Amino acid sequence: MFFAKKFPARHFPLPACPSGPGRLALRLSMRYTARHTLNARIRLMQDNFSHLDKDGNITMVDVGAKPDTRRVAIAEAIVELSPHTLKLLKECALPKGDVLTCAKVGGIMAAKRTAELIPLCHPLSLNLVDVRFEVRDTPPSVRIEAETRTTGPTGVEMEAIIAAQTAAAVIYDMCKAVQRDIVISRVRLLFKDGGRSGAFHAKPLD
């Protein structure tokens, strides 16, 4: 039988805590370090996030001085269904009726109300909202693509994302009577153009 060799426990003395003036100096040093670290983090966030003011508080960006430019955004979402549910959807045989038509209308309506849902989002005059669907047999799913366009001082990415998400939620609502475990996934921005940052193309996932 094997017995592990026992070694005597070692005790290391803890550093002595200063008292009197030394303790006060330590506390002041710790407070300065914490405040300096916080200020550095705020400055870093201000450099990267336009929705923060000089004190690190959230603020709505003033876009009044920015020129109007053509803006485009496309977002996607995937609704994963069972083969049976997908068959009923394609045949318009679900209890609530035509799923994709309702989802399209829901996505368009949601895009127009984006500023009421996203706290710091600007109300925009949309030139176009389009919601398109790709019904896939393998794997059984519906791919949603929402496109938004405007001519203005700020982008329409959030409008496209809200349109795609809402269309996906409408599909869930229309199909939940026959399937509860529907999965909504891969909501993301695919493309945007216009403005100072220029064009963005998402990397393919498939």
**Binding site members:** 120-122, 158-159
Amino acid at 179: Q
Cβ–Cβ < 8 Å for 155, 192? yes
Catalytic residue among 173, 181, 193, 206: 173
How far is it, in rounded angstroms, from Cα 185 to Cα 123? 27
Active site residue 98: no
Residue 187: strand, helix, or coil: strand
Q: Residue ranges for the binding site for substrate?
A: 120-122, 158-159
| Tokens read off for 113 | 């109300």
CA dihedral 150, 154, 157, 162 (to 10 degrees): -80
**Residue 13: exposure state from Cβ atoms within 10 A (0-12, 13-18, ≥19):** exposed
Burial 76-104 (b: 16+ CB within 10 A, else e): bbbbbbeeebbebbeeeebeeeebbebbb
| Cα–Cα distance, 105 to 130 (Å, whole number) | 9
The set of catalytic residues is: 173
